[in-house]
Amino acid sequence: MTTDTATRPETAAPGQDDRTIATDKQPLLDVQGMKIHFPQTKGFIRKQTQWVKAVDGVSFQLQAGQTLGLVGESGCGKSTSGRGITHLIKPTEGRVILNGEDLEDLAPEDLRQRRRDMQMVFQDPYASLNPRLRVEDILAEPLKAHGVTNKAERRQRINEMLDVVGLNRGFALRYAHEFSGGQRQRIGIARALILNPKLIIADEPVAALDVSIQAQILNLLKDLQADFGLAYLFISHDLSVVRHLCNRTAVMYLGRIVEIGDTEQIFSNPMHPYTQTLLDAIPVSNPRLRRERVILKGDVPSPVDPPPGCAFAGRCPEAHARCREERPQLQAQGTDHQVACHLHDPA
Ligand code: SF4
């Protein structure tokens, strides 16, 4: 597992507020003001000129056994956030606290050990599995890396995992390229589960699959959550899937969360104009329930030079003068609903 490092900028960018939703229970995952900025270089000597602010101050909490959906258009920073949480990319700033432990404080070997508690399932089951390895080798890799040296013990664990994800034990001796997309994603899920993690970060886990297979994999994820008490950070652009699977939902735009809260509250009463346009774009089969669509105009601003006010101002039908000058912060709108929009600032 390689780790990319997003170098720290010399001067910190203005941060989004680091507030998180207060809950009684200690969360399994507590992300506080996470930023991931990549240096942009130019010329033969690769002189660093600017920063790409891929994630620019993201805060949220996730309780054990719950699912948080992270949604937004491609390029909004949701996948980079997932990699930042696992420290596959080292965050530039902010804290990622897993089970009460700040990952930033850990020595490299301790961080490697903690990674067994949080695993990733990737979007593309074709690219994420080595086609030259047999399934048993793919599943044995994480066990070996975490000190399971006994071969019989590994074999037993691999067989258990194949049972859990609904694959024949005989598949252990076959190569990954011999399987269909759905079967490969089951192998990817088995690989993620084999170390008994508490948190799975699923990055568009069904986006590359046929629609008929998507439902099978989503049902498998739900069953596994019920059986093992897993927490999921479910990264997706598909809002129908998020509504079906997630207790809470966070909407990202240009590296920041613009709305977060209970999924039913967000879907029944979206308050941010960007969330409203995302929901308007969900296909509805019953023509009587169809709403008039607001088509977004304009482009997403560059993450190299985000606008000083609201990043959505250039596309927002409700934008007013203040939006172009002052960046809105997340404000509580109810028990579990926060929105970053001047239309909903407290009076
Ligand atoms: Fe639109 Fe202004 Fe709200 Fe941004 S702050 S979403 S521009 S109304």
Cα 258 → chain centroid: 15
- Residue 12's pLDDT is what? 35
Give the fold, CATH level 3, of 26-40+48-344.
Rossmann fold (3.40.50)
Of ligand 1's listed atoms, the one at least distance from the Cα of 313 is: 7
Distance between CA atoms of 293 and 109, rounded to whole angstroms?
51
**What are the per-10-residue average pLDDT scores of the chain (347 residues)?**
42 37 75 94 74 95 97 93 95 96 92 92 85 94 91 95 95 92 94 96 91 92 95 95 95 97 96 94 66 69 90 94 95 93 89
pLDDT for 27 equals 96
pLDDT for res 211: 87
Q: How far is the CA of 311 from the centre of ligand 1 (A)?
A: 8
Report the amino acid identity of residue 341.
Answer: C
Look at residue 295 in the predicted model and tell me its pLDDT: 65
Ligand 1 pocket member 294 (CB < 6 A):
no
Contact 182, 148 (CB under 8 A): no
- Cβ of 273 closer than 6 Å to ligand 1, yes or no, is yes
Interaxial angle between packed helices 181-193 and 211-228, expressed in degrees from 0 to 180 and rounded to the nearest 10:
20
DSSP letter, residue 134: B
Residue 274 CA: nearest ligand 1 atom is: 6
pTM comes to 0.87
Ligand 1 site, residue 264, Cβ cutoff 6 A:
no
91 CB near ligand 1 (under 6 Å): no
Residue identifier of the C-alpha nearest atom 5 of ligand 1 = 341
For the CA of 324, the closest atom of ligand 1 is 7
Map out the domains of the chain as residue ranges. 26-40+48-344
